[in-house]
Amino acid sequence: MLAAMQAGHRVDKYVLERKLGEGGMAEVWRAHHVELGKVVAIKCLSTRLTANPEFERRFLNEGRRQAGLRHPNIVPVIDFLAQGDDRFLVMDYVDGESLAARQKRLGGRLPLELVDSVGQDIALALDYAHQRGLVHRDVKPSNILLEESGKAYLTDFGIALAAGEERLTRTGTAVGTVHYMSPEQIARPREIGQRTDIYSFGCVLYEMLTGRPPFVAGEGDTEFSVMTGHLMQPPQPPRALNGEIPEAVEQVVLKCLAKEPGDRYGSGEELARALRRAFHPDVSTGQLPSMELPAGAATHWAAPGRSGRNRLWPFVLAGVLLAAGGAAAWFWSRAPEPPPVVQQDVPRVQPPEATAEVPPPPPPPASGQAPSGDPVQRAARPPGVFKPVKPSSAEPLAPLPPVPQEPSPAELRLRACRAMGLSEEDCLKRQREEDNRRRACLALGLSEEQCAERLKKSP
């Protein structure tokens, strides 16, 4: 069907106008409603994928999820169509271009004002989706649309994951686009959450500011080197590539790119606040705007002489106070007298009779030793001193469980290799080759950091 699609072709009640873009799974066309004339965007699933139940189910889930999202920065789905074996999603049309196209047209880097607005728009859109249990899993420039005014929209929830939902991919297979994948997407696909989208959007922010993603493959390298960078290498500071970036903005981006999810921002709203503080340090965030009184309201009570009614209020207030004072005096005059106090004779207590004096204890021996035949007498315990507590006869506490060990760098490289779909033998061969190159580099007298940088640049 897609091979026959062309301008003027009719899909149910919509007529196709021109192709907007295409990918590995689908094509997107601009179209209009036959009767209403409304302009829409229609996403058409590739014919070769409609026979695959997994992709068809994913396509239908995308429509259901996106149709349930109502946010000013998320492209809504308004219809789902089926014609024979073909499947179509009908969405609102955004008159503009993708963020990827804008970057290409402007040469990579974007103005700081645009990074500010896009960053806050998409962060809030992600926060809205996360609050409804959705993780996008594929945040990248081509899935962000921009109007000419700069307003940004998040789209393409094709591989989004709902909370508690069974994944539609093979166990251990990484899902996403390699340049924007989080470390857990590569090494621990079952542990992804909303902070995964924070990392991916951090890669997008990095690219908008510097003109390239945080990790790129060198000449002759493959996606394996990019995955290794996500897993093991710190990104180059953005200010080293673009000195115009404010330091506070750089810190926000680097926090998004933390290797551990717990070290990133906890929500899209938190990220949006951080971006606002970084780009606008003089503007407070997280507070409602102050309520200003209308003109003249602040001086209304300070100028009571403007009208005859306001001239009377001191006299009215004095009358109220006098009336209140008279009522209080009348109330207290009618209060009952307190009962008389009856004095009683208190019997005197006779002091106890004197008892025989107790002789003082004998002084201790001058030599500090007790007399022969008598045991050494200890001083009496002063009052208020607690006796020593006997040791408890309870059983000793069980030992703490062992702390889980972090995977070694070699294990992380193997996970990244397996995530690319390679066999165990091929992965071990890659690792042996990399270890041999590392040993050869160390034999030249270079440090570990110099060897790691050299291996990163070598094919």
| Residues forming the active site | 138
Could you write out the three-class secondary structure of 282-328?
A: CCCCCCCCCCCCCCCHHHHCCCHHHCHHHHCHHHHHHHHHHHHHHHH
Q: Could you give the 3-state DSSP secondary structure of residue 92?
A: strand
Pairwise CA distance, residues 407 & 411, whole Å = 6
Q: Do residues 284 and 251 touch, judged by C-beta distance below 8 A? A: no
Pairwise CA distance, residues 152 & 72, whole Å = 9
Q: Do residues 116 and 139 touch, judged by C-beta distance below 8 A? A: no
Pairwise CA distance, residues 276 & 273, whole Å = 5
Helix (H) or strand (E) segment spanning residue 26: strand 26-33
Quickly list DSSP for 334-371: TSPPPPPPPP-PPPPPPPPPPPPPPPPPPPPPTTSSPP
Q: Count of CB atoms within 10 A of residue 155's CB? A: 25
Q: At what angle do helices 448-457 and 424-443 cross, to 10 degrees?
A: 130
